[in-house]
Amino acid sequence: MEEIHYKSIGEISDLIREKKISSLDLVLYHLDRIKQLDSHLKSYATLMSEQAILRAKKLDQEINQGHYRGSLHGVPIAVKDLCFTRGIRTMGGSSVFIDNVPEYDATIVELFYKAGAVILGKLNLTEGAITYYNPKFQIPENPWKPNYWSGASSSGSGSATAAGLAFGTIGTDTGGSIRHPSAVCGTVGLKPTWGRVSRFGVMDLAPSLDHVGPMTRTSVDAGIILQVISGFDPKDKTSLPNQVPDMLSKSQLGVKGMKIGYDENYTFEDMDEDFARSVHDGVKLLEKSGAKIISISMPKNLKDYINAWSIICSSEAAVIHSATFPSRSKEYGPFLRNWLQNGLNYSAKDYSEANFLRNKCTGELNFLMHNLDVIACPSTAKAAYPVKKEELYGLPKRDPWLGRFTVPTDYAGLPTISLPSGLNKEGLPLSIQFIGHYLSEPTLIQVGCTFEKIANFNELHPPI
């Protein structure tokens, strides 16, 4: 069992199918590992130990009877605590919902169960999935260094994936919260096309911006999970009716002849040299593998476009929380309380003008990608950095410019993949992001697999 927690889902599924290891053994091993490490990592909000053990036993019986469900059969995973789980509380990082016990599963949870996955538990996050934490909840640690930023909203998902506390996790991304934790925790994050994955039963932040996607340790693993959770859902009217392709169909094709757009100024401006250099070097590696690098220029009005995000997000969040805010405002943490109040204060004119800017940004991005296969850029604006609890529980000033690599694609609903691109001088993860066309997830996985083969940064793990 040594280091089995860092094996890929593909490797684990082979072992399970061939009966070389049981799902029960894996579950018990991971529960023990969580017990050993999560007292300081604090990635899990709720462990589902009893349910996971019973389910693993059932899935092992199915294997013995010749019934194999697929690549996730018997594989331990975990979901962000925004995803409804029947009979298990779903708190969304907020004391307002601390006693919220759903009577049904989110669609993605249903799909995981159908595929044979074992859910180990629910993962911690920022309150309401926006930036900072409720004082009554624990803050996930970055497994690479104690008291360092673990990536905002899907922080528990990033921490658990990087530390080998699950073979894959679910994150959500409204302004970057699949990509930020994936980047600073050194994992792969795949933000699908908006609507590719059903949001039914997933607590909203801002519905027009919210994406649900996998966080894993390899691009193939991200594809395996995305394959399972994608597709039209009649319970989510915004889910896409498009046929779900084979997500791994291009994984072995390489990048020869692929056109990759790259704005060097965008990568290096206001960035630490080693972070920007890792992205630049990553692009050059793909060029040596046969890709054609096309010089591009990101929109000049990017700051104005990004500043509109807070108006859109907070206005939609205020509507989503209208049943509990402002009536229970004292139960909210300082940041989300202020965020929701701001949302109530914005006018219809403010919201409309912000959406006009969003649409302009989307138009410019789509035009920029017209003759490209993907765009390369950093996944986040900075590597992990030291944080203090009082800051993350308080009301610090939020810098919109930190979302310059993530917000535009949430505006446009375009898919992205984030990949480890090395370590900085402090030994902390760096990350490169590739932006794809609408519904082009197989192409992003293709790029990710190629990058992993030539760089091997996904094989780096935190020193825990």
Active site residues: 80, 153, 177
Residue 300: burial class (beta carbons within 10 Å; 0-12, 13-18, 19+): exposed
The DSSP secondary structure of 321-356, one letter per residue, reads: TTTTTTTTGGGS-HHHHHHHHHHHHS-HHHHHHHHH
- Secondary structure element (H or E) that encloses residue 122, with its range: strand 118-123
Only one residue has tokens 């700051």, namely 303
d(CA 138, CA 389): 9
Return the number of other C-beta atoms located less than 10 Å from residue 53's C-beta.
16
The DSSP secondary structure of 146-170, one letter per residue, reads: TTB---STTHHHHHHHHTTSSS-EE
Confirm if 110 and 102 have CB atoms less than 8 A apart.
no
d(CA 335, CA 179): 21
SS3 for 24-39 is HHHHHHHHHHHHHHHH
The token pair at 419 is 């990949």
DSSP 8-state assignment for residue 1: -
